[in-house]
Structure 1
Amino acid sequence: MFRRASRLCFELAILIGFWWFGGWLAQACGLPLPGGVIGLALLLALFASGAIRPALLQGGAGLLLAEMLLFFIPALMSLLDYGALLRSQGWKILLVIMCSTLLVMLVTALSVEWMYRWRSRHEPR
């Protein structure tokens, strides 16, 4: 039990470290990207190069994904304060949400497909 909890804390600390380093790098270089995006790009590069195995962070990433809804509850609750805005501009907001969701899904699918093909070409047989 203690061993599993300490491993989970270790994995979460690594993920938080990438997030923090990405934020620091964005601020130091004046990049117009969120630190989380830069940190995840660095982590993806390390995964692709084989420097870090994805299984090393599987438990921490799984915990964050399982609790992802908690990160969105404050945003959803704030919608109650803007009922008039939703009634007048709701269709535009819904259109932006649908288009951005579609783009995220498309980019994710293409990235996974590209990574799968790259890995199958470069993986030793």
Structure 2
Amino acid sequence: MNLSRCTPLLRLLGELAVLFVLYLIGGRLAAWSGWPIPAGVMGMALLLVLFAIGAVQPGTLQRGAGWLMAQMLLFFIPALMSLLDYGSLVRSEGWRILLVIALSTLLVMVVTAATVELVCRWSLRHES
């Protein structure tokens, strides 16, 4: 997959199309397997497998992924607006919700850091 020769707009659209197709395939895999895993997570796992076997280079989808990351705030607006419907719950249980968010965020950061460290050590060991 060589998108480097395209104009910037076509490259962005192509990368977004690839990411969307991976999302759709992830949805099909989730439905087929019966696992309660979101389509996006399955698509990301599929992308990780493609990176691991060398079918896709990580820099190939950099522009499309970067654009999606820049627009990420738009994905959270519906979730934030739903808080208006549950104001009384947030007032009474807000500290517990914040505690769960803080602990889960910390856990994700620690697991991500440990995974990156292990992968870096593994790749350095296998380079020599």
| RMSD between aligned residues | 1.5
The aligned residue for residue 114 of structure 1 is: 118
7-16 or 42-51: bigger deviation: 42-51
Structure 2, unpaired ranges of 5+:
1-5
Partner of 2:3: none
CA distance in structure 1 between the partners assigned to 2:119 and 2:110 by the alignment:
14
SS of 1:57's equivalent? helix
Q: What TM-score, normalized by structure 2, do the two folds share?
A: 0.87
CA distance in 2 between partners of 1:8 and 1:97 (Å): 33
Deviation at 1:102, TM superposition (A): 1.1
Runs of 4 or more, structure 1, over 6 Å off, are: none
Structure 2 counterparts to residues 1-125 of structure 1, below 5 A: 3-123=7-127
In the alignment of these two chains, the number of paired residues is 123
Q: Aligned-pair distance for 1:47?
A: 1.0
Percent identical: 61
TM (normalized to structure 1)? Answer: 0.89
Shift of 1:38: 1.3
After the TM superposition, which of the residue ranges 113-122 and 75-84 deviates more from structure 2?
113-122
For residues 33-53 of structure 1, the C-alpha deviation after alignment (integer angstroms, 9 at most, x for no partner) is 111111111111221222210
Shift of 1:94: 0.9
1:68-123 alpha-carbon deviations (Å, 9 max, x no partner): 11111121122122221111111111111111111221222122222222222233
Q: Which runs of 5+ in 1 are unaligned?
A: none
CA distance in 1, matches of 2:15, 2:62: 8
Equivalent-residue separation in structure 2 for 1:39 and 1:68 (angstroms)? 17
Find the aligned partners of 1:67 and 1:60 in 2 and give their Cα distance: 11
Tell me how far apart the structure 2 counterparts of residues 40 and 7 of structure 1 sit (CA, whole Å): 20
Of stretches 19-28 and 71-80 in structure 1, the one that deviates more from structure 2 is 71-80
